[in-house]
């Protein structure tokens, strides 16, 4: 199934307030703090929503919602964020932000805020301009963007003509309301618009609305003048269905119920729905941090669920092995005092910046930028191997999975035209075809000296092997590491996500010694 998610992928003064002591006070695993700007620096009392933007030049920006303004922050240098501009609005605890092309749209729950339309086309030169403010709706809880078709939706709308409004962004600077007074019958706290390009909903624009105590409302929004509710997905012990995000393959929807932790007295309970066929979608089960904290906004990128869970901070789960029961792989706690069920701490996050850095918006302490690369690097063992030149003396696939002195032994064969006497290949599968980096490690030794070892990755795009590491083969176990960070998609087969490595050995000089290579481990480290 294919689908298109409505997203992605004057002076400037640096206002970052970073200290070693504050960084050390945070609790984290697999996630590193890059920078922090506190609320006092912003001149605000609380934080709420956030989003991201990449300018045509490739510079990265965070958009941070605050109690009295929205801040536009350059984060191209993650260690030195620069506040470019702030746009004030009526005071509010709640806010919502989305981006389309070079425009940002923001709203709050305070009557009269409306929807602010902000031009970021000259943000690289420090210019961010409030173009206009839409007065209908007078206020809203959050915004949903369909960037594929160019529509903006307001959720939790009050003080306007309906609970869910739709705006045509043919002219992004001047959104025009289309469709009925309300696209949905019931109040939608948040929403998600998916454009299906194959499968049972091919050609449809399907809305997943998070509908408080009613569950997940599924609508067909393809015809803006005739939105049709096609399904309501319920689940056990519904308290307040709040927000969710879809997996890249369109199979699963990950959702939080904001009030079930307090209502049921349970630890963090996040929900999984099977939506492979939206007409027959259903509740699958739950997963948890095993902490009391309330789960809040979450997003899915490259098979990782990034949750902002109030007092337990940013929590990262990997869905690649068991998508119905994701495994926690890392976290960064912006509220280290405790993990209790209370509405403090991390409100939301944004994990879609090309750098891989993640923005966290914290209610009590402001803006954070973190690097989750350790948590989001998947370590993979080979799923297959073969001897290409020489003789397989002993060992099998399982011997390549760990460093344990169980080895694959290769003896040399006849000298090849390019000077090698033995070679082997191994392969594994990445999660998708566009990782940030691919690292391969080979733990090996030879019984005699005098041999080179070449580690190569296969370039599927150009049908060629590319050497990523050349070193001498040690006589005691050593590790050879090769790394690819540019054009990584060339090294992943698009249909299968397969990555292939080749290890070859050649004599350094004319020698009477014969090669016997011992390979203890081949390991792929694939960063999202």
Question: How many angstroms separate the CA atoms of 455 and 418, rounded?
Answer: 15
Indicate whether 139 and 204 sit together in one domain: yes
Indicate whether 429 and 295 sit together in one domain: no
Indicate whether 40 and 95 sit together in one domain: yes
Span 67-93, mean pLDDT?
97
Residue 478, in any domain of the structure: yes
φ/ψ (deg, to 5) at 499: -120, 130
- Closest by Cα among 488, 138, 509 to 302: 488
- Pick the more confident residue, 25 or 444: 444
**Structure-token pair, residue 318:** 């990997």
Residue 206, in any domain of the structure: yes
Angle at 220 between CA 215 and CA 221, to 5 degrees: 110
- pLDDT beyond 70 at 410: yes
pTM of the model: 0.91
- Closest by Cα among 268, 218, 272 to 244: 272
Of 312, 340, 368, which one is at a domain's C-terminal end?
Answer: 340
388, 422 contact by CB (below 8 A): no
Q: For the chain, give the mean pLDDT.
A: 93
- pLDDT beyond 80 at 8: no
- Closest by Cα among 192, 133, 183 to 162: 183
Residue 347, in any domain of the structure: no
Question: pLDDT > 70: what percent of the chain?
Answer: 94
Span 502-524, mean pLDDT?
90
- pLDDT beyond 80 at 215: yes
Q: How confident is the model at residue 522 (pLDDT cuts 50, 70, 90)?
A: very high
Indicate whether 332 and 468 sit together in one domain: no
Question: How many angstroms separate the CA atoms of 485 and 19, rounded?
Answer: 31
Q: How confident is the model at residue 19 (pLDDT cuts 50, 70, 90)?
A: very low
- Closest by Cα among 402, 381, 368, 421 to 525: 381
Confidence (pLDDT) at 502: 98
Of 316, 340, 364, which one is at a domain's C-terminal end?
Answer: 340
| Residue 444: strand pairing partners | 478, 519
Confidence (pLDDT) at 15: 35
Residue 286, in any domain of the structure: yes
Confidence (pLDDT) at 230: 96
Confidence (pLDDT) at 383: 98
Residue 257, in any domain of the structure: yes
Which domain does 268 fall in, by range? 3-340
Confidence (pLDDT) at 333: 97
- Pick the more confident residue, 14 or 220: 220
What's the number of domains the chain is made of? 2
Burial of 476 (0-12, 13-18, 19+ CB in 10 A): exposed
Span 503-523, mean pLDDT?
89
Sign of the torsion angle spanned by Cα atoms 298, 299, 300, 302: negative
Indicate whether 114 and 232 sit together in one domain: yes
Indicate whether 194 and 332 sit together in one domain: yes
**Structure-token pair, residue 188:** 């939608």
Give the pLDDT confidence of 133-187 residue by residue, as tens digits. 999 998 899 999 999 999 999 998 875 556 899 999 999 999 999 999 999 999 9
Indicate whether 287 and 224 sit together in one domain: yes
Indicate whether 395 and 319 sit together in one domain: no
Indicate whether 298 and 414 sit together in one domain: no
Indicate whether 323 and 423 sit together in one domain: no
- Closest by Cα among 119, 82, 85 to 99: 119
φ/ψ (deg, to 5) at 489: -65, -25
Lay out the sheet containing 304-308: strands in order across.
27-29, 327-333, 314-318, 304-308, 298-301
Confidence (pLDDT) at 511: 60
Residue 477's domain is classified under what CATH number?
2.60.120.260
Q: Report DSSP state, residue 226.
A: S
- pLDDT beyond 70 at 22: no
Residue 415, in any domain of the structure: yes
35, 16 contact by CB (below 8 A): yes
Span 184-198, mean pLDDT?
95
- pLDDT beyond 50 at 110: yes
- pLDDT beyond 50 at 10: no
- pLDDT beyond 70 at 26: no
How far is it between the farthest Cα atoms of the chain? 88
Confidence (pLDDT) at 449: 86
Residue 370, in any domain of the structure: no
Indicate whether 80 and 11 sit together in one domain: yes
Residue 7's domain is classified under what CATH number?
2.120.10.30
Span 101-108, mean pLDDT?
97
482, 437 contact by CB (below 8 A): no
- pLDDT beyond 50 at 209: yes
Q: How confident is the model at residue 439 (pLDDT cuts 50, 70, 90)?
A: very high
Question: How many angstroms separate the CA atoms of 8 and 355, rounded?
Answer: 13
Question: How many angstroms separate the CA atoms of 109 and 92, rounded?
Answer: 6
Confidence (pLDDT) at 24: 39
Of 317, 340, 363, which one is at a domain's C-terminal end?
Answer: 340
H and E: helices and strands count for the chain: 3, 41
Span 38-62, mean pLDDT?
98
Confidence (pLDDT) at 448: 87
Count CB atoms within 10 A of the CB of residue 464.
Answer: 10
**Structure-token pair, residue 395:** 């060992």
CA 429 from chain centre, in angstroms, equals 19
φ/ψ (deg, to 5) at 279: -70, -25
Residue 299, in any domain of the structure: yes
Indicate whether 293 and 440 sit together in one domain: no
Confidence (pLDDT) at 261: 96
Burial of 146 (0-12, 13-18, 19+ CB in 10 A): buried
Question: How many angstroms separate the CA atoms of 154 and 159, rounded?
Answer: 12
CA 2 from chain centre, in angstroms, equals 19
């Amino acid at each position: 199934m294919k689908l298109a998610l409505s997203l992605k992928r004057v002076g400037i003064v640096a206002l970052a307030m970073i200290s070693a002591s504050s960084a050390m006070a945070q609790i984290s695993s697999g996630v590193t703090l890059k920078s922090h700007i506190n609320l006092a620096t912003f001149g605000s009392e609380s934080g709420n929503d956030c989003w991201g933007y990449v300018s045509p030049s490739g510079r990265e920006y965070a958009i941070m919602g605050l109690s009295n303004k929205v801040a536009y922050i350059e984060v191209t240098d993650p260690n030195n964020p620069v506040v470019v501009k702030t746009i004030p609005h009526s005071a509010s605890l709640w806010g919502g932000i989305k981006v389309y092309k070079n425009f940002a749209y923001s709203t709050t729950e305070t009557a009269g805020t409306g929807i602010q339309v902000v031009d970021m086309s000259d943000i690289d030169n420090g210019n961010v301009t409030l173009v206009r403010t839409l007065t209908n709706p007078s206020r809203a809880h959050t915004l949903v963007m369909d960037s594929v078709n160019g529509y903006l939706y307001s959720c939790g709308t009050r003080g306007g003509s309906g609970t869910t409004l739709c705006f045509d962004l043919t002219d992004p600077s001047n959104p025009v309301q289309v469709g009925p007074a309300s696209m949905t019958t019931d109040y939608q706290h948040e929403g998600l618009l998916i454009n299906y390009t194959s499968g049972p909903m091919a050609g449809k624009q399907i809305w997943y609305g998070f509908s408080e105590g009613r569950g997940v409302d599924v609508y067909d929004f393809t015809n803006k003048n005739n939105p049709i509710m096609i399904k309501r997905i319920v689940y056990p012990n519904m308290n307040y269905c709040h927000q969710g995000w879809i997996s890249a393959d369109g199979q699963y929807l990950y959702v939080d119920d904001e009030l079930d932790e307090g209502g049921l007295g349970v630890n963090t309970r996040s929900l999984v729905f099977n939506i492979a066929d939206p007409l027959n979608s259903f509740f699958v089960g739950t997963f948890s941090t095993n902490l009391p904290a309330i789960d809040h906004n979450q997003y899915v990128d490259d098979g990782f669920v990034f949750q902002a869970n109030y007092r337990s901070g940013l929590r990262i789960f990997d869905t690649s092995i068991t998508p119905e029961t994701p495994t926690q792989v890392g976290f960064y706690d912006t509220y280290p005092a405790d993990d209790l069920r209370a509405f403090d701490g991390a409100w939301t996050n944004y994990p879609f910046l090309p750098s891989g850095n993640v923005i966290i918006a914290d209610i009590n302490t402001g803006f954070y930028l973190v690097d989750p690369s350790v948590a989001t690097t998947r370590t993979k063992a080979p799923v297959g191997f073969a001897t290409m030149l020489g003789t397989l003396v002993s060992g099998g696939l399982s011997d390549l999975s760990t460093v344990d002195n169980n080895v694959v032994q290769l003896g040399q064969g006849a000298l090849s035209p390019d000077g090698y006497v033995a070679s082997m290949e191994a392969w594994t599968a990445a999660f998708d075809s566009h990782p940030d980096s691919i690292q391969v490690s080979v733990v090996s030794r030879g019984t005699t000296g005098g041999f080179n070892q070449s580690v190569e990755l296969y370039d599927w795009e150009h049908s060629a092997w590319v050497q990523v590491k050349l070193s001498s083969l040690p006589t005691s176990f050593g590790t050879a590491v090769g790394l690819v960070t540019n054009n990584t998609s060339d090294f992943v087969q698009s249909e299968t996500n397969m990555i292939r490595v080749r290890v070859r050995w050649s004599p350094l000089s004319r020698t009477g010694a014969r090669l016997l290579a011992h390979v203890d481990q081949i390991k792929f480290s694939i960063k999202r």
